[in-house]
Chain A
């Protein structure tokens, strides 16, 4: 081995503590980058393959009832490749031993062939036999939630008739990746299930023989969607069509897309942040490390080593640190990425997972880190090379210290000698001090970014479920029902209060914006469902016009006073102009609201309702649940407490894993940055401090001079870090806004406290480690050698 290479290894060994700290920072940056990158790749790949192999349809339409003969006309539409007509029914389910109401969706599959579209991925058992009326396949999630195996019996209420069914298999479907009960935002596999039954059997049970009430279409070209939708609406309107739509408005796909969008955001923001901080640190550290080798560089040059050879020497040093860091980071990131992708696979219930580490991902991480490190190295080397060897070998000129601002203001009496030294040192190298402060502030900021969401989620639940949606139970009817239903609900056991609503699918248009959503009519003065303004104060429902969820208003670009076009997507499909009266603060979901009677008038119908919110007496819940299960009109029942639990579970499954990882990494980065600052300061100033010791300063006093500076910089950096952290959180919150949920920018004091604690603890630990080194400072050796 060449002498210069030996120097490299020995020096690397000498600075191992620091090298490890730098590597850790790189590891964190790279691991986050790889973890998210690989997960994102995997999810995208997996979904694409799933959709393709299981023939996910392109256009969807529900209707009241149409004769099977209509199928031919749909198939003949230009742009249509495949058509599958189906019978879909809302059902009540009874599972032995489960008292709460369960609702389900029963979907037909062709009797003697594979479905052309939305094929099933059979997990267990078999498909229903064509000649049996009582066999059913259920969604795997539902089967698992109730521990149902093939052979299990289910009791179902179809169209008011009770029927016993036998479970013959469990399956997954690209159509129900997200299985959401209508009106719910988060999956609940215990209380909602999807079931598949033979077309003939379901037709008989639901009174749909020779007819269909649902149609799905595969296109020759996705660009044909708008035309096919228009034609389909034209064909289906006479048959009670509820508005055809493409994948964008298909519930599962839409929620999946929103989830993917959120993951993409995290997968972009966190790696950029962490990698950025790591590269920044690498740049600063390399710059200073090489700055300290100035005399050695001078000596090497004096002996005839050229700039190229010296540059290569230091680049090798950087290369070792960076490559080891990147390698460990890729390894850790790949492992964590697999874990995260598996979590998502379980959450989304994909039948398989296409997980692989792409070359671009690994290479990108390596290039970014090497680039950052080399930039820092090149910077320092350029400064060292600019000096003539004679100059480089001379100790640096005593720096141009001067009296600090405080002293210039005549306040030096306030400062002891050591304090003056600290301040003058900081002031002499403002850029270096600024970089240190910035580094620590970044560390503080990323720590906040990983943590703030927990408190925010609590706040979202408080507002949505305690201030706004206050019902105990929400029931939805299979179809609009007369107001008289209130009476029958009122008389159920334990029901203390009933508030009804009418919900209609609509498309809202304003200028060139349009959005498919739900228009909800509610009676004024409700206590269970309340609307809130931007300051979370109760909002009175106006008798005329609509209120929009603030985010929906933003999407449509409307403000109070604008006139909106409402296209109703059911019944006689009226189109109306309606004034926007105001915006409603909502964190979960989006909707438009208006007065119930007003909506009935707009729909040109009598007093009809789609569902009701109930306040109930806890003691009579089980009896109530049993009675609700007997009412065929009720398509779904949502229990608020359960919704809150579902929300938390969804958040935990998707978000908290990586926020936990992000927090751990942020802590490591914070420590890495601060420890390196302290170590570099020690090396740079050990001669000066040894001289002070010789002059009679105690260990405590020189520690104070060195660590006092670190402490002061840390204290300055923390408030700055709060600002940085708030900025990062704002970026995250703004990016994460979706129709599913909007995270409010609420940073709980505990988040600030946590970040400050992490930074202070890192500073204390670093200080302690450096103090140990200071105590072992060999005075003679330090003063005798010049480098």
Chain B
């Protein structure tokens, strides 16, 4: 069990309603959840189950319609824009499905973009070495493969030494082989840096890597699985 560890996030009765064009979509319908320091959590669920919404609220990219999300004992819901910005800057690393690299900046510069505003960052070169891209420092996103771009995105996310690493479908746009490499990097960051890691996926095979697997369905937590043993990413096939 993980209860003896520090509780990083605590969500209480979270709901989120989006206006989508002319209709309203209820993305979260009352989620209660706690995440602990250093654990590797996979959010699993079909598209539309609310996992991205949950991740965005965890990362301070979005705010809930009702309910509370606490980080380190403080409610993110009462943060104003500047406080949320500081929260993201100091505590959270993001990895997105489509990498969201700045196309006009090289790999090194994309990482530097974040390290320049962080308090105690890894040097960009070290962060890129960590993800196995020491020889691609000065390549532009357009000169990198999808997997390489995603690894730049991971380097960018971890270079600030965040407390939390949030990954939204990090392998969604990648083939198996590349996906596995990317997952290995995330796994390594989690183990070596002790970063609390949340990975969204709709790929059940990835769940085997996690400490805990949270199944979301239709805006609610359907069930939570605990893996006694985390599987190495290299052993995953899909």
Contacts and interface: CB of A to CB of B under 8 A. Distances in A.
Nearest to A787: B103
A3 B88 contact: no
Given A304-B89, A397-B20, A388 B105 contact: no
Given A301-B85, A302-B61, A306-B85, A786 B98 contact: yes
Contact of B117 (A295, A305, A389, A400): A305
A419 interface: no
A303 B20 CA distance: 26
A751 B88 CA distance: 60
A80 interface: no
A299 B116 contact: no
A10 interface: yes
Interface string A743-787: 000000000000000000000000000000000000001001111
B109 A307 contact: no
A782 to B, nearest CB: 11
Of A303, A306, A787, the most chain B CB neighbours within 10 A belong to A303
Nearest to B108: A3
Contacts of A2: 112, 116
A303 B114 CA distance: 7
B102 A299 contact: yes
Contacts of A299: 96, 100, 102
Interface string B86-114: 11111010101010101111000110111
A786 B61 CA distance: 19
B21 interface: yes
A391 B63 CA distance: 11
Nearest to B141: A785
B62 interface: yes
B135 interface: no
A515 interface: no
Contact of B61 (A305, A388, A781, A787): A388
B21 A302 contact: no
Contacts, number: 94
Contacts of B82: 306-307
B142 interface: yes
A53 interface: no
Given A302-B59, A305-B117, A391-B62, A6 B100 contact: no
Contacts of A3: 105, 109-110, 112-113, 116
Contacts of A307: 81-82, 85
B103 to A, nearest CB: 7
A306 B84 CA distance: 9
Nearest to A778: B142
Nearest to B112: A3
Of A11, A388, A400, the most chain B CB neighbours within 10 A belong to A388
Contact of B104 (A14, A302, A303, A784): A14
Contacts of B59: 302
Interface string B133-162: 000000001100010000000001000000
Contacts of A400: 21-22
A298 B100 CA distance: 9
Interface string B61-87: 111000000000000000001100111
Contacts of A306: 82, 85-86, 89
A398 B85 CA distance: 28
A752 B87 CA distance: 60
B103 A785 contact: yes
B85 A305 contact: yes
A297 to B, nearest CB: 11
Contacts of A596: none
Interface string A1-21: 011101100110010000000
Interface in A381-402: 388-391, 393, 397-398, 400
Interface in B14-38: 20-22
A17 to B, nearest CB: 16
A296 interface: yes
A388 B19 CA distance: 14
Nearest to A8: B104
A24 to B, nearest CB: 24
B129 interface: no
Interface string A272-306: 00000000000000000000000110111111111
Interface of A: 2-4, 6-7, 10-11, 14, 295-296, 298-307, 309, 388-391, 393, 397-398, 400, 781, 784-787
20 contacts: A3-B110, A4-B113, A6-B104, A7-B105, A14-B104, A298-B100, A301-B85, A302-B94, A303-B89, A303-B156, A304-B85, A304-B86, A305-B85, A307-B85, A389-B62, A393-B61, A397-B21, A785-B98, A786-B100, A787-B103
| 3 smallest beta-carbon distances between A and B, as pairs | A304-B89, A10-B104, A390-B61
Given A7-B102, A301-B61, 17 more contacts: A3-B112, A4-B116, A7-B105, A296-B102, A299-B102, A303-B89, A303-B113, A304-B89, A304-B90, A304-B92, A305-B89, A389-B61, A389-B62, A393-B61, A785-B98, A786-B98, A787-B103
